[in-house]
């Protein structure tokens, strides 16, 4: 990493997320995270998209819809678990540790990485986790990720 890149990454606003991977940039599509309650030790595994696509109506005389990409609310995001958010409201945000585990380049990788981690940690079966549902919708592996994830399978 060059000196310029390091200075940019140090100025990069990550909100309340304290641990951020080196490959996390303004162009990152999304990330998989874990939020830990430092009082009780309970955790929540989830994912969040950094960008959101909004379809706008076509310009006058045109047929194709326009697409605009905005930053999502990821810097302030605290998860989708009702129990987790109730605890954050009750105990205060300072009693929780917000950690980004993986940055992801697309929807497929984001869903796959989150689901894999939740299954590896038995997030549904353990009382240690706030997770109450694993909601996945994954199709076949896109060519972009096929080689990347095929290598991890041969090591196992």
State pLDDT tens for residues 79-113: 999 999 999 999 999 999 999 999 999 999 999 99
Phi and psi based region of residue 101 (left: phi greater than 0; alpha: psi -120 to 50; beta: remaining): alpha
pTM exceeds 0.85 for this model: no
11-43 confidence digits (pLDDT tens): 678 899 987 888 888 889 999 999 999 999 999
> Residue 109's closest CA among 78, 71, 147, 155?
147
The residue behind tokens 């109506």 is 57
């Amino acid at each position: 990493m060059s000196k310029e890149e390091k200075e940019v990454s140090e100025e990069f606003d990550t909100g309340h997320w304290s641990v951020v991977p080196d490959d996390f940039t303004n162009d990152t599509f999304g990330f998989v995270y874990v939020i830990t309650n430092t009082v009780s030790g309970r955790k929540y595994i989830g994912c969040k998209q950094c960008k959101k696509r909004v379809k706008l109506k076509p310009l006058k005389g045109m047929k194709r819809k326009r697409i605009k990409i905005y930053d999502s609310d990821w810097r302030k995001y605290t998860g989708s678990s009702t129990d987790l958010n109730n605890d954050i409201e009750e105990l205060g945000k300072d009693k929780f540790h917000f950690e980004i585990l993986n940055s992801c380049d697309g929807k497929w990788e984001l869903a796959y990485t989150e689901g894999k981690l939740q299954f590896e940690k038995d997030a549904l079966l353990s009382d240690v986790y706030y997770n109450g549902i694993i909601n996945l919708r994954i199709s076949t592996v896109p060519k972009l990720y096929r080689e990347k994830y095929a290598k991890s399978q041969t090591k196992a």
